[in-house]
Amino acid sequence: MKLWGGRFTKETNQLVHNFNASIGFDQKFYKQDIRGSIAHVTMLAKQGILTNEEKKAIVAGLEGIAKDIENGTLVIDGTHEDIHSFVEAHLISRIGDTGKKLHTGRSRNDQVALDMKLYTRDEVLAVDELLKTLLEELLTIMKNNLDTYMPGFTHLQKAQPITLAHHMGAYFEMFRRDRSRLHDIYERMNYSPIGSGALAGTTYPLDREYTAQLLDFYGATLNSMDSVSDRDYLIEFLSAMSTIMMHLSRFCEEIIIWNSNEYQFVEIDDAYSTGSSIMPQKKNPDIAELVRGKTGRVYGALVSLLTTMKSLPLAYNKDMQEDKELTFDAIDTVKGCIALFTGMLSTMEFKKDNMNKSARNGFTNATDAADYLVNHGVPFRDAHGIVGQLVLFCIEKNIALDDMTLEEYQAISPVFEEDIYEAISMETCVQKRNTIGAPGQEAMKQVIAQAETYLKEN
């Protein structure tokens, strides 16, 4: 059934039908479409635009359709243009002429705006829930690794020692911000467009606030032209999801490096690795690589929709139908990536000895040796130069600062005393750093306590 056959004298060209149709993908929100329709007719009856009997018949018909799609007895086929036409056609064939009243005071423009919003609103929450599980996993690792030492890097060169807890804590903050972005989007998007009509409202005395309430919105949107053509919330959601993917991708990149033969900081569990068809020894971090790879696809969706919306005149234009496939794909991709990443992380073995060893060489305590001199009255710039000489000496002898004899220290600067070894031990280097956000245990414990409260409350 076509919703608009009246003014046409010819059949639609088949290729045009195929090109124009959206049922192949908008069937994804059949539940939301039906829920929206039920709210709409409930409001129409309250306003006396439909009788109670008509409303009851339509609601029962719609509920039957939802049930039958669910249990597979009603299959959504491609002969209809979109899910809206499909549902309406089946309603009419089930309950007769009363079904033709469903679309009173409504356009597909506000209908599809509503469906898409209802669908994505749930998905914002679903992504948020997955992030919460990931944060809980990160927090567990943090609590268990307050003294698991590892090198911290800048330029991918060993810089200063940190702990695994601290490193995980950095990602905790990223994903916490991601959740807060989702929260903001939800707050901004949660207004109902239904009742805006095609673009200019309707002449029926609709109670838009009531429909909004029935659908758990905060209220009704305030401009009917904007309501049918606003896709900002999708762009924001795609942007937030792109940022989530960027964070996951950075994390994956680190895990791939850590999992390499050269680093061996972690070993990805067999259940989350794959092998090579030719090289029997291989165990590859494919999941981490795929998550990293899929990031491009989610960015693509964001840029694609931004480009689609650019230059669109008010109000609805069919270009907007393009919002769906890419958003659905991005949502499915991001949900899959967070879930798999969390699984990989929670089963991954951290090779603490290797991390520790790595932190002990590479002069990650050089800054602390300089600070030692500063604490003994040497100006920092001079201290920096002296420790540079120490490092050079060690590189020539292929030893660490900790391996130098006191005589060797004093030959370069008489300021050094026996307590230098204590001052540059990795434990000291890390545990003395206790300003807010630093890797020392005291600082980390405060952050962990905050994180626990945050997860309880959010």
Q: Which residues are designated catalytic?
A: 155, 276
Q: How far is the CB of 95 from ligand ARG (least distance, A)?
A: 23
CA–CA dist 72, 92 (Å, integer): 20
What does the per-residue mask of binding to ligand ARG show for 8-27, with x meaning CB under 6 A?
--------------x---x-
Query: Closer CB to ligand ARG, residue 19 or residue 155?
Result: 19
Q: Contact with ligand ARG (CB under 6 A): which of 42, 304, 321, 425?
A: 321
Residue 95 as a binder of ligand ARG (CB under 6 A): the answer is no
Question: Residue 116 Cβ, how far from ligand ARG at the closest point, in Å?
Answer: 8
Looking only at the bridges linking them, the beta strands covering 219-220 and 191-192 are parallel
| Chain residue whose CB lies nearest ligand ARG | 321
| CA 283/CA 190 separation, integer angstroms | 46
Of the pair 146, 320, the CB lying nearest ligand ARG is at: 320
For ligand ARG, the binding residue among 38, 69, 91, 112 (CB under 6 A) is: 112
d(CA 330, CA 332): 6
Residues 150 and 429: their CA atoms lie apart, in Å, by: 12
DSSP code per residue over 227-278: HHH--HHHHHHHHHHHHHHHHHHHHHHHHHHHTSTTT-SEE--GGG-B--SS
Q: Is 199 in the site for ligand ARG (CB under 6 A)?
A: no
Nearest CA among 248, 238, 258 for reference residue 338:
248
With tokens 């749930």, the residue in question is 122
Q: Which of residues 26-45 bind ligand ARG (CB under 6 A)?
A: 26
* In the complex, minimum distance from the CB of residue 303 to ligand ARG, in angstroms, rounded to a whole number: 20
Residue with tokens 């567990």: 140
Q: SS3 for 131?
A: helix
- Least distance (Å) between residue 323 CB and ligand ARG: 7
Taking CB under 6 A as the criterion, which residues in 68-87 touch ligand ARG?
A: 82
Secondary structure class of 162 (helix, strand, coil): strand
The reply on whether position 108 binds ligand ARG by CB under 6 A is yes
Quick one: 230 or 368, whose CB is closer to ligand ARG? 230
Q: Report d(CA 216, CA 204) in Å as an integer.
A: 23
Q: 130 and 342 in contact (C-beta within 8 Å)?
A: yes
Question: Does residue 259 bind ligand ARG (CB under 6 A)?
Answer: no
Residue choice 91, 135, 320, 386 for contact with ligand ARG (CB under 6 A) = 320
Residue 78's nearest CA partner among 138, 42, 124, 24 is 24
Binding of ligand ARG at residue 317 (CB under 6 A)?
A: no
Here the tokens at position 413 are 């600067």
Positions touching ligand ARG (CB under 6 A) are: 22, 26, 82, 108-109, 112, 316, 318, 320-321
